Amino acid sequence: MAITLRVNRQAHTVDCAPNTLLVDVLREKLRLTGTHVGCDTSQCGACTVHVDGRSVKSCTMLAVEAADAEITTIEGLASSADGSSGRSGLADGGNLHPMQAAFQECHGLQCGFCTPGMVMSATDLCRRNPKPTEHEVRHWLEGNLCRCTGYHNIVKAVLAGAEAMGGKAK
């Protein structure tokens, strides 16, 4: 069946079976391979994207469910509404979203595999809660697994990213 998806502010019409997962359309049909698959039980969160602004595990949603929604993947984050460059206030922000810049500044990534999901999840947190505490960040990230960083610098990055996005951390 043909479905139309709006991804990173562009409309795409793709042909796929009704049982196709959103993540498979993003990766296989649209070649947006920044969204990763790290498990098969909706636990790891590497596939997290924004659907109408809210973080969603794209391995847990059918592509047809996302028709008519506004989807943002890691590739489109820097050019999203709050992602314009130069707003991060952090070194080497360049054209990264402030949260992406914070992850680089705080060494919040190592192998990079969980990173897109972490960044998408963290961005959603900070849009909802501009001044999260360390405790709130750690519990919000419950749905995102990282095996490299021990979360130490991820948590620091999210707190710094929150500040850069406009909130002042509590």
Partner 1 sequence: MSAQGFGASVRRKEDRRFLLGKGQYTDDITLPHQSYAVFVRSPHAHANLGAIDAAKAKAVPGVLAVLTGADVAAAGLGGIPCGWAVKSKDGSSMVEPPHPALAQGAVRHVGDPVAMVIADSKTAARAAAALVDVDYQVQPVAASITAATAADAPLVWPDAKGNVCFDWHLGDPASTDAAFAKAKHVVEIELTNSRVAPNAMEPRAAIGHYDAANDHTTLYTTSQNPHLIRLLMGAFTLKVPEHKLRVVAPDVGGGFGSKIYHYAEELLVAWASRVVGRPVKWTSDRMEAFVSDAHGRDHISKAQLALDANGKFLGLRVATLANIGAYLSTFAPAIPTYLYATLLSGPYDFPAIYAEVKAIFTHTVAVDAYRGAGRPEATYLLERLVDKAARQLGIDRIELRRKNLIRTDQFPYQTQVALAYDIGNYQATLDMALASIDHAGYDKRKQATEAKGKLRGFGISTYIEACGIAPSALVGALGARAGLYEAATVRVHPTGSVSVFTGTHSHGQGHETTFAQIISEKLGVPVENVEVVHGDTDRIPFGMGTYGSRSAAVGGSAIVKAIDKIVEKGKKIAAHLLEASAADVEFVDGKYRVVGTDRAKAFGEVAFAAYVPHNYPIETVEPGLEENAFYDPKNFTFPGGTHLVEVEVDPETGVVEIAEVAIADDVGVVINPMIVDGQAHGGLAQGIGQALLEEAVYDADGQLVNGSYLNYVMPRAADLPFFKVGNHVTACTHNPLGIKGVGETGAIGVPPAVINAVIDALAPLGVTDISMPATPEKVWRAIQAAKKGA
Question: What is the sign of the dihedral through the CA atoms of 57, 60, 62 and 68?
Answer: negative
Judged by CB under 8 A, does residue 116 bind partner 1?
yes
Please report, to the nearest 10 degrees, the dihedral formed by the alpha carbons of residues 35, 39, 44, 45 taken in order: 30
Q: Tell the smallest beta-carbon distance from residue 80 to partner 1 (Å).
A: 13
Interaction of residue 84 with partner 1, rule CB under 8 A: no
How many residues form the binding site for partner 1 (CB under 8 A)?
57
- Return the residue of 7, 63, 71, 78 that touches partner 1, per CB under 8 A: 78
Among residues 91, 88, 84, the alpha carbon closest in space to that of 105 is found at 91
Q: Minimum CB separation from partner 1 for residue 14, in Å?
A: 15
Question: Taking CB under 8 A as the rule, does residue 82 contact partner 1?
Answer: no
Rounded CA-CA distance 18/105 in Å is 42
Residue closer to partner 1 by CB (options 2, 91) is 91
User: Where does 34-151 have alpha helices with state H?
Assistant: 74-77, 98-105, 115-128, 134-140
> Is residue 37 near partner 1 by the rule CB under 8 A?
yes
> What's the Rg (C-alpha) of the chain?
15
1 binds partner 1 (CB under 8 A): no
- Of the pair 61, 155, the CB lying nearest partner 1 is at 155
Q: Rounded to an integer, what distance in angstroms lies between the CA atom of residue 133 and that of residue 118?
A: 17
- Where do the DSSP E strands lie in 16-66? 48-51, 54-57
* Residue 109 touching partner 1 (CB under 8 A): yes
| Interface with partner 1 (CB under 8 A) | 17, 27-28, 31-41, 43-44, 46, 73-75, 78, 91-92, 94, 96, 100, 103-105, 107, 109-116, 119, 134, 137-139, 141-142, 144-155
